Amino acid sequence: MKGRGSWKVVLLVFAFTMVFPSAVLAQERLKLSTTTSTENSGLLYALLPPFEKMFNLKVDVIPVGTGKALKLAENGDVDITLVHARSLEDKFVAAGYGVNRRDVMYNDFVLIGPQSDPVGTKSAKKASEAFRLIAQNGATFVSRGDKSGTHTKELAIWKQAGLKPAGKWYLEAGKGMGEVLTMADEKRAYTLTDRGTYLAFAGGKKISLPVLFEGDPILFNPYGIIAVNPAKYPHVNYVKAIALIGWVTSQEGQKIIKGFGRDKFGQPLFRPMAIEDPR
Amino acid sequence: MEYILYGILKAAELIATLDTEVFSIALFSLQISATATVCASLAGIPLGFLIETQDFWGRRGTITLFNTLMALPTVVVGLLVYSFTSRQGPLGPLQLLFTPKAMVLGQFILATPIIVALTISATHAVDPRVKLTAMTLGAGRVYTALTILAEARFALMAAVIAGFGRVIAEVGCAIMVGGNIRGYTRTMTTAIALETAKGEFGFSLALGFILLAVAFLVNIFFHYLQSRRD
Amino acid sequence: MDTPQLEIQALTKIYDGKQVLDIPHLVINKGTIYGVIGPNGAGKTTLLSILAILVPPTSGNILFDGVDVTELDQHALRRQITLILQNPLLFTTTVEKNIAYGLRVRGIGKQERTARVKECLRFVGLEGFEKRKTIGLSGGELQRVAIARALALNPTVLLLDEPTANVDRASVDLVEQILRDLNNSLGITIIIASHDMNQVYRLSDEVVHLIDGRLTRAPAANLLRGRVVSQNGDLFLFDTGKLRVAVLPVKPEATHVSIPPEDIIVSHNPIATSARNSFAGKISQVSDEGESVRLVVDVGEKLQVTITKRSFAEMELNVASPVYVTFKSSSVEVF
């Protein structure tokens, strides 16, 4: 039995090293909910480390959909939230769940589509006009369909155009931005996307659809950061949440935001909003 | 086609260079699932043994219950653990949500029914003379129980492996209660979900290959043990 | 007189409303080999289980060395009185781990265990078998390992249920010799239960017969199987298939009869007596029993008859002599 005996010992040792060490450093943690597109952009991993070092804590970034990010904050399951859905943010604060909302940055949405641009969106003067061209010609359009910030924006544009999109050409994916981009690329379809995710994908050669329409003010996508109301949830790490808000709206923080993406994509992904021209 | 090839090459590169992020995610997955499986075994094996050997009112129903729980959808367990560990829930103050502990809890709930159900059948399959023989040789109740379990050892090991196999590959629960936090609660499965959504096929494939390798090894071991029991 | 090793008093055992054992008194002396003969279903296994303190009796007492067993520690007692099951089970591991099992239970250290295992293997003639896996052992090897395993506990009493039922023919002698040696050199009291009458008589110092849970007058020679075929007033006939025996009124479910050899009269010619049973036959065997002579007379069934040496000489009997055997229906024991 000797052979089999030692085999069991090896297994046991292996199992024990695998067993999760419960003595994990009991470090202070700040829970931040945000959207998947924000997390995907990678900005937070450039913006947060100096803050973490300064305050000797870890920020747990939980990437979920916009609705869920706010819901987590509503439930008190996170300490702070960073989203880009102004109307929902305002409702959130009005209902008393959040305090100290600050504008952090904005990026914009762009309309992308097939290189040939069959319906001529390039020549449109407004976003709503471009959308009307797509609907009238029944060109395939992929929608997020998931009540995210992007989806909300898209619906606002349809509303402005006075249209209710429906039909075989209008595909409601119910998925995240990256997946929708992949789908649009596959089908050579039009879709609305935030520039950040677009640059990450196009730059990474994951899709080949070019930007066809941009610049209309309605396409601007502002980001807000809100601390969860300590009056409602006394357990939240309010002090550190405020510190984080202070950081992202500070000179250094805004500077990091301004420069992010430049070396990777040739252009920054976001534009700072708290301080227009940080030094 | 081209991007699949690109993905495979990227994956090979990440694995060959022992990319830190890929391997730390892999290690973390193994730690969570191993811990959950160990706890599930410590709870499940004695429980399964007692259910099989003791007569009590509702015994048949209990066995059926555990057989049913084996097929619990992972998202259902995720939802359950989430609601319990959320601030709003009864375990709120423990601050378990979005930590590895919550993930271990969820996977514990997933693995235990499998281990219990398979322990019940393993114990049932042991020759009834084992108990009598142990008694004739002077063994007390505890020693007799251990002897019966020892006779069933291959089947029990297979039960534990089955439990592990179930949890190492699950994503529904891990993502809901862990929050998929980079460097903290990201497992192979949740990372694949995230990276694929980002279009990072290379990274996802690398993790996918490692996961497959783990599943493969687990399966081989499982079948080896099954053959030993017969 | 020495205190008996085991003593049974007024023992009964009832399973599911059916009485399987009814033994008013039984004494097993120290250092003897005791044999229990009985057909299958007679209650041998139950009796052994009760003696091994594995199963409690429904009523009655068992005394071990004069002390009621209910006053003693059950686990310790089971190590002193060890039962080897019919078709014994060996744990799926090595031979040495099996033999050392009882020692492990008692917390005996490794060195002592190894030595004891070696000793026990030597005793049963299986030196060097330590590392063998139990799967793949022959029937005889298996039984010997089971004996070695029981032996390791240094039992005072060893009970064996059908000790060679699953043993290959070549090893039967070997196993029987081991049992004798256990008794002779180690003084272990041995109780064997078997349906094999020859084996039991071969090995035992004392023999009892167990039929339908009751002990019969030992030794129950001339045990015949059959059934009641006619019930007529006070004359019942029991048919063994080869012989019809007149018996006193009995329960119609009777399955066995036994005729004490000393109650059978042998004669050259039929005797005019009131005895209802009279059969013609031939002597097939003669054996000198010292004070008496034992004959086997074939009257369809082979009956053992005991007569005095003198009668034997006077009648000038020999093998193949044609004779008549006669016995009363009241002599016949029915079960």
The DSSP result for A82-123, as a single string, is EE--HHHHHHHHHTTSEEEEEEEEEEEEEEE--TT-TT-GGG
Query: Which residue in C78, C85, C92 is closest to B151 by CB distance?
Result: C92
- Residue count of chain A: 279
Three-state secondary-structure class, residue C214: strand
Q: Are residues C206 and C184 in the same domain?
A: yes
Phi-psi region of B22 (alpha: psi -120 to 50; beta: other; left: phi over 0): alpha
Contact C78 B138 (CB under 8 A): yes
Contact B3 A206 (CB under 8 A): yes
Q: Are the C-beta atoms of A262 and A270 separated by less than 8 Å?
A: no
Q: Chain A: residue nearest B97 by CA? A: A77
Three-state secondary-structure class, residue C133: strand
User: Tokens at residue B148, please?
Assistant: 């019966």
CA distance A76 to chain B (A): 6
The CATH superfamily holding the domain A29-107+222-272 is Periplasmic binding protein-like II (3.40.190.10)
Interface of A with B (CB under 8 A): 15, 18-21, 24, 31, 36, 39-40, 45, 58, 60-64, 75-78, 175-179, 181-182, 200-201, 204, 206-207, 233, 235
Flag whether pLDDT at A50 surpasses 80. Answer: yes
Q: CB-based contact (8 Å) between A1 and chain C?
A: yes
Query: Which residue in A19, A24, A77 is closest to B87 by CB distance?
Result: A77
Which whole-number Å values give the CA distances from A15 to A8, A155, B111, C321, in the listed order? 10, 52, 16, 84
Angle at alpha carbon of residue C278, lines to C272 and C281, rounded to 5°: 120
Q: Does domain B2-229 have CATH number 3.40.50.180?
A: no
Flag whether pLDDT at C275 surpasses 60. Answer: yes
What pLDDT score does C274 carry?
Answer: 82
Which residues on C lie below 8 Å from A1 (Cβ)?
93-94, 97, 131
C-alpha dihedral (A101, A270, A149, A177), degrees to nearest 10:
-150
pTM for the whole structure:
0.75
Flag whether pLDDT at C204 surpasses 90. Answer: no
**Domain A108-219 top-level CATH class:** alpha beta
Radius of gyration for the alpha carbons in chain A, expressed in angstroms and rounded: 22
Higher pLDDT, A204 or C202: C202
CATH number at residue C260: 2.40.50.100
Three-state secondary-structure class, residue C194: strand
Neighbouring residues of A83: CB distance < 8 A, sequence distance ≥ 6: A33, A34, A35, A38, A66, A69, A70, A89, A149, A223, A224
Residue C1 covered by a domain: no
Total Cβ atoms within 10 A of residue A194: 27
Q: Express each pLDDT in B22-52 by its tens digit.
A: 889 999 999 999 999 999 999 999 999 999 9
- Alpha carbons A94 and A91: distance in angstroms, whole number: 5
Domains A29-107+222-272 and A108-219 share a fold: yes
The amino acid present at A115, given as its one-letter code, is Q
Contact B140 C105 (CB under 8 A): yes
Residue B220 pLDDT grade (very low, low, confident, very high; cuts 50, 70, 90) = confident
Residue C84 covered by a domain: yes
Contact B100 A200 (CB under 8 A): no
What pLDDT score does B188 carry?
Answer: 93
What pLDDT score does A1 carry?
Answer: 36
Q: Are the C-beta atoms of A192 and A153 separated by less than 8 Å?
A: yes
Domain boundaries, chain A: 29-107+222-272, 108-219
Q: Are residues C312 and C181 in the same domain?
A: no
User: Tokens at residue C3, please?
Assistant: 């205190």
Which whole-number Å values give the CA distances from C191 to A158, C141, C162, C182, in the listed order? 98, 21, 11, 12
Q: Measured on CA atoms in the order B148, B154, B160, B166, is the torsion positive or negative? A: negative
The region of weakest confidence among A85-99, B121-135, B157-171, B215-229 is: B215-229
Query: Which residue in B87, B97, B201 is closest to A233 by CB distance?
Result: B87
Q: Are residues C45 and C171 in the same domain?
A: yes
What pLDDT score does A25 carry?
Answer: 58
Neighbors of chain A by Cβ distance (3+ pairs < 8 Å): B, C
Scanning chain C, the segments in alpha helix (DSSP H) are: 44-51, 74-80, 95-105, 110-123, 139-151, 169-186, 197-203, 309-315
Beta strand C322-327 pairing with C277-288: antiparallel
Q: Are residues C153 and C275 in the same domain?
A: no
- Alpha carbons C43 and C210: distance in angstroms, whole number: 7
The amino acid present at A238, given as its one-letter code, is Y
Which residues on C lie below 8 Å from B143 (Cβ)?
105
Which residues on A lie below 8 Å from B86 (Cβ)?
75, 77
Q: Chain C: residue nearest A2 by CA? A: C131
Residue C13 covered by a domain: yes
Q: Are residues C301 and C231 in the same domain?
A: yes
Q: Are the C-beta atoms of C58 and C13 separated by less than 8 Å?
A: yes
- Residue B214: closest CA among B32, B29, B35: B29
Provide the β-strand partners of residue A108. Answer: A220
What pLDDT score does A23 carry?
Answer: 43
- Alpha carbons B92 and B106: distance in angstroms, whole number: 15
Which residues on B lie below 8 Å from C75 (Cβ)?
138-140
Tell me the residue range of the domain where C261 lies.
Answer: 223-334
Three-state secondary-structure class, residue A232: coil
Scanning A215-261, the segments in alpha helix (DSSP H) are: 238-248, 251-259
- Residue A260: closest CA among A110, A33, A41, A81: A41
CA distance C79 to chain A (A): 27
Q: Express each pLDDT in A91-116 by its tens digit.
A: 999 999 999 999 999 988 999 999 99
Q: SS3 helix, strand, coil % of chain C, rounded to 5?
A: 30, 35, 35
Q: Are the C-beta atoms of A47 and A225 separated by less than 8 Å?
A: no
Which residues on A lie below 8 Å from C94 (Cβ)?
1
Q: Are residues C186 and C268 in the same domain?
A: no
Q: Are the C-beta atoms of A107 and A196 separated by less than 8 Å?
A: yes
Flag whether pLDDT at B202 surpasses 70. Answer: yes
Neighbors of chain C by Cβ distance (3+ pairs < 8 Å): A, B
Q: Which of C75, C79, C113, C160 to mutate to test the interface with B (most CBs of B within 10 A)?
A: C75
